[in-house]
Amino acid sequence: MASVQMSSAAALLVLAIASIAGTSVAQDDQTPVVRIGRLGSVMGTMGETAWTGRPIYKFFNVKYAEAPVGRNRFLRPRSVRPWTGVMNATVPGRACPQRRTLSQDDPDAEDCLTLSIYSNNLTANRPVMLYVHGGAFVVGSAERFGPEYLLEKDIVLVVIQYRLGTLGFLSTGTKSIPGNAAMYDVLESLEWVSRHIRSFGGNPEDVTIFGESAGGHAVSAMLHSPRVREGLFKRAIIQSGTLFMPWVICQDPTEGAYEMASIIGCNMTTPAEIDRCLKNASVRDLVLAQDQHKRNEFSSPGYPKVAGACITVGGAYGNQSFMPVHPRESTYFRDVEIIFGMNSQEGLIFFNEYFRYALDSQPIEFDSHWDSLEFLKTVNIKFGSGAFVDAVVGYELLSKATWEEMDRANFSEIVPLFIDVAGNLALKYGSVEEANRFARALPGQVYLYNFDYVGPPSPVTPGFPYDFPNTVGHGDELKFLFPMSNVLNEEHTQMAKIMVDLWTSFAITGKPQADNVMPWPTVSNDLVVNIQGLGSVMGTMGKTAWTGRPIYQFFNIKYAEAPVGEQRFRAPISVRPWTGVMNVTAPGRGCPQRRTVSQDDPNAEDCLTLSVYSNDLTANRPVMLYVHGGAFVAGSAERFGPEYLLEKDIVLVVIQYRLGTLGFLSTGTEAIPGNAAMYDVLESLEWVSRHIRSFGGNPEDVTIFGESAGGHAVSA
């Protein structure tokens, strides 16, 4: 296997008293009490890990900020004040207001800015992992994300809550309701961890912030915001999230806020009057208004500008706002190690949102394939592809549906097409873009993954009414990091252990590693692949033509020694191993032909090379080997790039072979027997058989193809 480089049980203390940095800890068998510096004391409870039964000290929903109510509604949070007595943190507390909590008559509903802390050593100094839950910025709570898997490793886990929907994101463009309150909640939780996590055995200088979906967007926001001070976290993991998703950044927050104010029944006379009404509105009215606003936007023509659940750029505080400019316009890159990632069928949850809100969960009866084309164009617009829609639609059709399927125009049959489009536009393109931007700025510090392990049905995946086999949907990786509602069998448990190893090793060392998992390469513009038994090659990055998928490019790698001297006109000799790193970042020379004879190149015949293109160096994908044409007298690998074919999951190899007299001359003797070029092609196939695994290719699944003279060679 090629390596890729780019530039048990613990003893429970029944009774103990310890002192760390002025913090006292008292603990008994079930109700540990921790004194948090000058804040106060909290009483927790005990649990144990899922696989080895390690003890876990659990402290649920510890307040990190005061209740954001009254004049402080919609504003950044105020740090929690010290309390007297012992705060009971033995059971999960309230979630922040959302649709599912409206039936609860709770006068303190907005007092929800809390975090849950899990540790198995209150006197240690361990890396901290702070998790931000997802839920489209409108649902979610800390309660669902327990520590029973991650605390198998020596980390401290913190799971936070933040304001949701209108309470967390509404912006009228004024200083009274400026937007991004929820992002300041996340920031305040990080500050709390920095001040107090030592009380729970955590190291405040070794924090990894991670989140999924909307939680991933929040992590992305922490990376980009100048309001987040340096040193609050050392590493970040963004799971299926990015600020580069179209809907995450508000398109017109004030207009949406005013629509919601109107739905509530506010007097719309002046901005001050609107702000006053929203400050005094009931939680129920605010939540339901945002839900109605969302339905209106999804049902209307054009891109849905949903407010009250997105991040505001700029605003009343200008350069001092949370996000002064869009991240695409920023040249600031926080110097941390980062994992970006996504799941295979991300589009399922996103298309389901459109299906529910815009189509009222009813399929469309297409009268003809033209109707289905128009609907596909609408899906593109709804998920953010406003430009070049016709071209994008054409590509999607040609690559993801057959002509027969399009002609039948059956909604349920072509739903997978709509789901893929929604996932690419709503998430994947943006995630890859952000990962590449950070990789260019921070070479060797960025990792990228695509999760496609099929496990048990996920509680996150919606109850979509159409079959979608082998689904690995949005959030499906979470059940391998947290003990959600699924019961994992032995095979799935092994995957969970791998995921825990990868995530916690990254938090501990900065490198994601797990037993029996090959080294995970970083993303970089320059990358080095070690070809086992030969040597190393340095390639470069490119991207596909239509969707911008990253391409690892290695131009003109030698597969045979230069056929010179006694070897001219004869079968090639396999390339010998080399030392150092072969630079294959740019196209090399073509084999001698009429257009090159004017070049004075003493090494002209050293041209037996091949170019390799892949978008996953650790996969096991089918290989396509192309032999160029040119009447056996002209041509080179340089002209045949990967930008179209690498839209699909294959590895492309484009070879060169001797041309004209050097490749085909025959005097009928052993010295010049003929067909040297055909032996070149054969040698290139042998090279692929021996080495293509180094580039993510399957040597047992090779297709050779060629055009014109290249077709003759394939026939030969």
pLDDT band at 597 (very low <50, low <70, confident <90, very high): confident
Rounded to whole angstroms, the Cα distance separating 251 from 260 reads 15
Q: Which comes out higher in pLDDT, residue 661 or 444?
A: 661
Q: Count CB atoms within 10 A of the CB of residue 633.
A: 13
What is the sign of the dihedral through the CA atoms of 587, 589, 593 and 599? positive
pLDDT at 264: 94
Rounded (to 5) percent helix, strand, coil in the chain: 30, 20, 45
DSSP string, 434-484: HHHHHHHHSTTSEEEEEE----SPPSSS---SS--TT--BTTTTGGGTS--
pLDDT at 418: 72
pLDDT at 295: 84
pLDDT at 556: 94
pLDDT at 476: 87
CB within 8 Å of 93: residues ≥ 6 apart: 60, 61, 112, 114
pLDDT at 618: 83
Q: Count CB atoms within 10 A of the CB of residue 560.
A: 25
Q: What is the dihedral of CA 563, 568, 570, 571, to 10 degrees?
A: 10
Average pLDDT over residues 572-591: 89
Do the bridges between strand 697-706 and strand 621-627 make them parallel or antiparallel, or are there none, so unpaired? parallel
DSSP string, 264-316: HT---S-HHHHHHHHHHS-HHHHHHHHHHHHHHHHHSSSS----SSSBPPS-T
Average pLDDT over residues 18-38: 65
Burial of 30: CB neighbours in 10 Å, binned 0-12, 13-18, 19+: exposed
Length of the chain: 716
Q: Which comes out higher in pLDDT, residue 382 or 438?
A: 438
pLDDT at 18: 30
pLDDT at 346: 78
Residue 11 scores a pLDDT above 50: no
Residue with tokens 């007297």: 84
Residue 467 scores a pLDDT above 80: no
Distances (CA, A) of 121 to 152, 155, 158, 190: 12, 9, 14, 21
CATH 3.40.50.1820 fits 527-715, yes or no: yes
Residue 344 scores a pLDDT above 90: no
Which amino acid is located at 632 in the chain? F
Which amino acid is located at 8 in the chain? S
Rounded to whole angstroms, the Cα distance separating 698 from 622 reads 5
pLDDT at 298: 74
Rounded to whole angstroms, the Cα distance separating 35 from 200 reads 9
DSSP element (H, E) containing 132: strand 126-132
Q: Count CB atoms within 10 A of the CB of residue 228.
A: 21
Q: What is the dihedral of CA 705, 710, 714, 716, to 10 degrees?
A: 180
Q: Is 419 helix (H, G, I), strand (E, B) or coil?
A: helix
Average pLDDT over residues 523-532: 75
Q: Which residues pair with 540 in a beta bridge?
A: 526, 553
Rounded to whole angstroms, the Cα distance separating 636 from 9 reads 62
Distances (CA, A) of 579 to 138, 490, 576, 583: 56, 44, 10, 12
pLDDT at 331: 81
Rounded to whole angstroms, the Cα distance separating 357 from 291 reads 10
Which CATH superfamily hosts domain 52-329?
Answer: Alpha/Beta hydrolase fold, catalytic domain (3.40.50.1820)
Q: Which residues pair with 43 in a beta bridge?
A: 33, 88
pLDDT band at 118 (very low <50, low <70, confident <90, very high): very high
Average pLDDT over residues 405-414: 68
pLDDT band at 633 (very low <50, low <70, confident <90, very high): very high
Mean pLDDT rounded to a whole number for the chain: 86
pLDDT at 675: 97
Rounded to whole angstroms, the Cα distance separating 142 from 161 reads 6
Residue 611 scores a pLDDT above 90: yes
The DSSP output letter for 65 is: B
pLDDT at 371: 67
Phi and psi dihedrals of 111, rounded to 5? Answer: -85, 70
Rounded to whole angstroms, the Cα distance separating 80 from 66 reads 5
pLDDT band at 20 (very low <50, low <70, confident <90, very high): very low
Residue 673 scores a pLDDT above 90: yes
Range ranked top by mean pLDDT from 2-16, 179-193, 406-420: 179-193
Range ranked top by mean pLDDT from 102-116, 383-397, 585-599, 690-704: 690-704
pLDDT band at 692 (very low <50, low <70, confident <90, very high): very high
What is the sign of the dihedral through the CA atoms of 240, 244, 245 and 249? positive
Q: Minimal CA–CA distance to 115: which of 46, 33, 44?
A: 44
DSSP element (H, E) containing 491: helix 490-509
Low-confidence winner among 393-407, 574-588, 598-612 (lowest mean pLDDT) = 393-407
Residue range(s) occupied by CATH 3.40.50.1820 in the chain: 52-329, 527-715
Terminal alpha carbon distance of the chain: 32
Range ranked top by mean pLDDT from 87-96, 383-392, 449-458, 514-523: 87-96
Q: Minimal CA–CA distance to 614: which of 713, 686, 521, 477?
A: 521
Q: Minimal CA–CA distance to 552: which of 452, 436, 437, 453?
A: 436
Residue 73 scores a pLDDT above 90: yes
Q: Which residues pair with 17 in a beta bridge?
A: 26
Q: Is 128 helix (H, G, I), strand (E, B) or coil?
A: strand
Characterize 687-712 residue by residue with b for buried, 16 or more Cβ atoms within 10 angstroms of its Cβ, and e for exposed: bbebbbbbbbbeeeebebebeebbee
